[in-house]
Amino acid sequence: MSKVDLRITPSRSVLPASQEPQLLYALVELSAQSGATKMPRLPLNLCLVIDRSSSMRGERLQQVKQAAMQILDLLGDHESFALVTFNDRAEVVVSAQLARARAEIKRQISAIEAAGGTEMATGLALGVQELQRAMMPRAVHRLLLLTDGRTYGDEGRCVEIARRAQSRGIGITALGIGSEWNEDLLETIAARENSRTHYITSAAEITKIFTAEVERMHNIFAQDVHLRAMLPSQALLRSLDRVRPYIGPLPVIEEADFVWTAALGDWPENDVQALLMELVVPPLPVGRHTLLRLGLRYRTPGSDGATASHEQVLTVTTRNPDEVSDEVDPTVKHWLERLVAYRLQASAWQAVEEGKLEEATRRLQMAGTRLFEAGEIELARTVQEEATRLLRSGQASAEGRKRIKYGTRGLIGREGQS
Amino acid sequence: MVICSHCQAQQLDGTIFCTVCGASLIHARSTRQTTASLNRAAAEAPQLDGDDATIVPAPATKTESATIALVVLSSGRRIVLPVTSELVIGRKDQQRNFFPDVDLSLDGGYDAGVSRRHARIVCHNGSYVLEDLGSSNGTFLNRQRVSPDRPVPLHHGDEIQFGMLLVRFETNG
């Protein structure tokens, strides 16, 4: 049985007593420590949906085929594998089946050739259908999508298909390679529980990222993870964002007065998860106060769907303002700085869309400043360059935009590093 | 309540980064008293409206005496300066009694990595050179790094970067 460690670090543990509401940031870290007994592994029901448009020709497709074969070798005899390709139309190359006739499946994979355009929706639909054919009662259902091109006219359908699949418990990993694909679409597709997106900057990374993703899916030790935050009267949870393993907003629901919940999906054991909360604290007198009661609830795979839970409490001290320093916790500040950079670049692209180039440039430059301060020097330079390019030419480069969007979220080829 | 010194937005006490512009509010707070008057001056200085798609002010308006201007691209602030033989660019530090000719602390200079003595612009016979004064985060002219010991010629329309802060150099001559 794994043990869960839940830790809350506030930006300040001593607050000035005040007549005004004030803001407190709290970093919530979730980590799992493996116990002595090995966790039972949930079987995987996996479908690869691969773009085989002509731009995939050469090293990219070669790497994809190799990755698909390696994944097949990672699967056990009771796990399901399927592979769908798409260009102008979609085709089931390997229909959903237990990973047993490996030689035959590999032969089918090696026969894939690149040609034609990119039409993603039909490919996604076929992939979801294959997964549903192999629906096992207690399994992890995942669709792994790889594309290098822009799909035209069927973006809406792609999102619709993805949402329907996600509501049935199928998680989607959307991978983009090269500089032509539509990062807005992939981000939208992946903006749900158990789904993520990643930017593959070179074909050489394909195998590594594919297999790392399958390994994550194999190590799920808690499912349906729910977080519940109980705040004192008049306090407010202003925002909740995931900051590790990658940055992105988490939707919260105010379940009752001063009680908020968020769904975190499945949890692969090796992922350290960290969330950043912004709490608006009501005016407080001098003394000790409980500001946050945090509950974590999840199902463990081996235990017939039994739920487990954990609780953690955050207390702070309030003192006279002149006894309180301005110091903030450096770890909280670091992740907040990264989060602010992510938000700034997101609002910069929004401003570009609205034709507000000056505003967009300003936001990008501030994002660069934040990244610079957070020690992300290389990314800060990329942001600065795109800001300059935007100001000069009125548009950002397709590659720079992707590097910034995925880089600020920690989603470029740095698995296990952040 | 805290006022962001970069965009003048009101923020809750305890805010670390302004939710409107993203500037750091930590140091703004500790220097609140000393910069109060400067904040007012900055508010009166020409500022770009946040919602307007204004392009950076067109260069070179004709005036009688020779001036040069530095346009801070992030804030839109246009710093007009009389031509003198030397202009030091940096961040003021009242504790150490250091006041550069051009103070970039109001433009987020601290966050952008502008040193107290960052660089200087030297004018000689109507031409200009830019020299880095050993700044921590470097000076860049049109994206090329300027070595501290090697001044480079500066022309109208050039882009200078002090640390992360991007500025355009303009002359009216």
Yes or no, beta carbons of B111 and A373 under 8 Å apart: yes
Structure tokens at A367: 């994002």
Task: Give A54-85 pLDDT, tens digit per residue.
Answer: 999 999 999 999 999 999 999 999 999 999 99
Contacts of B56 in chain A (CB under 8 A): 358, 391
pLDDT of residue B42: 43
Structure tokens at A27: 């970093």
The partner residue sitting opposite B13, judged by closest CB among A22, A368, A373, is A22
Given a cut of 60, whether residue B154 has pLDDT beyond it is yes
Closest by CA position to A338, among listed A393, A387, A274: A274
Structure tokens at A354: 């609205």
Yes or no, beta carbons of A336 and B17 under 8 Å apart: yes
The partner residue sitting opposite A23, judged by closest CB among B12, B53, B111, is B12
Residue ranges of alpha helices (H) inside A168-278 are 183-189, 206-218
- Amino acid at position A110, single letter: S
Would an 8 Å CB–CB cutoff place A49 in contact with chain B?
no
The partner residue sitting opposite A358, judged by closest CB among B16, B55, B164, is B55
pLDDT of residue A125: 96
Least confident of A5-14, A194-203, B46-55, B108-117: B46-55
Q: If you measure CA to CA, which chain A residue comes closest to B27? A: A326
Helix (H) or strand (E) holding A227: strand A220-230
Residues, chain A, total?
418
pLDDT of residue A418: 34
Indicate the SS3 state at residue A378.
Answer: helix
What average pLDDT does range B151-163 have in this prediction? Answer: 90
Task: Give A279-322 pLDDT, tens digit per residue.
Answer: 999 999 999 999 999 999 998 876 666 788 899 999 999 999 88
- Amino acid at position A190, single letter: A
Kindly list the distances between the CA atom of residue A44 and the CA atoms of A14, A34, A72, A144, in Å, as whole numbers in the listed order: 47, 21, 11, 12
- In angstroms, the separation between the Cα of residue A356 and the nearest Cα of chain B is 5
Least confident of A12-26, A115-129, B22-36, B146-160: B22-36
What average pLDDT does range B72-95 have in this prediction? Answer: 84
Yes or no, beta carbons of B13 and A358 under 8 Å apart: no
Least confident of A26-30, B24-28, B66-70: B24-28
Contacts of B163 in chain A (CB under 8 A): 372
Predicted ipTM of the assembly: 0.85
Would an 8 Å CB–CB cutoff place A217 in contact with chain B?
no
Contacts of A380 in chain B (CB under 8 A): 164
- In angstroms, the separation between the Cα of residue A182 and the nearest Cα of chain B is 26
Helices first, then strands: H and E counts in chain A = 10, 17
Evaluate if pTM is beyond 0.90.
no
pLDDT of residue A413: 57
Helix axes A330-353, A357-373, angle to 10 degrees: 160
Contacts of A326 in chain B (CB under 8 A): 26, 29-30
| Mean residue pLDDT across chain A | 90
Enumerate residues 6+ apart whose C-beta is below 8 A from A369: A380, B22, B23, B108, B111, B112, B113, B164
Enumerate residues 6+ apart whose C-beta is below 8 A from A328: A11, A12, A25, B16, B26
The partner residue sitting opposite B14, judged by closest CB among A24, A384, A391, is A24
C-alpha to C-alpha distance for B165 and B79, rounded to whole angstroms: 14
**Taking the CA atoms of chain A, what radius of gyration do you get in angstroms?**
23
Would an 8 Å CB–CB cutoff place A363 in contact with chain B?
yes
What average pLDDT does range A334-346 have in this prediction? Answer: 95
Indicate the SS3 state at residue A326.
Answer: coil
Phi, psi for residue A317 in degrees, rounded to 5: -110, 140
Helix (H) or strand (E) holding B2: strand B2-3
Query: Which letter does DSSP use for residue B65 in this model?
Result: S
Helix (H) or strand (E) holding B158: none
How far, rounded to the nearest angstrom, does the alpha carbon of residue A360 sit from its chain's CA centroid? 25
Domains defined along chain B, listed by start: 65-170 (2.60.200.20)
Structure tokens at A278: 């912004």
Q: If you measure CA to CA, which chain B residue comes closest to A333? A: B16
With 0-12 / 13-18 / 19 or more C-beta atoms within 10 angstroms meaning exposed / middle / buried, residue A74 is middle
Size of interface A-B (CB pairs under 8 A): 100
Q: Indicate the pLDDT class of residue A89, thresholds 50, 70 and 90.
A: very high
Instruction: Give B10-59 as a 3 state SS string.
Output: EECECCCECCCCCCECHHHHHCHHHHHHHHHHHHHCCCCCCCCCCCCCCC
Task: Give A10-27 pLDDT, tens digit per residue.
Answer: 999 999 998 899 999 999
Tokens 């008293």 sit at which residue? B33
Task: Give A93-129 pLDDT, tens digit per residue.
Answer: 999 999 999 999 999 999 999 999 999 999 999 999 9
Q: If you measure CA to CA, which chain B residue comes closest to A337? A: B17
Residue ranges of alpha helices (H) inside A329-356 are 330-353
C-alpha to C-alpha distance for B55 and A217, rounded to whole angstroms: 49
What average pLDDT does range A139-151 have in this prediction? Answer: 92
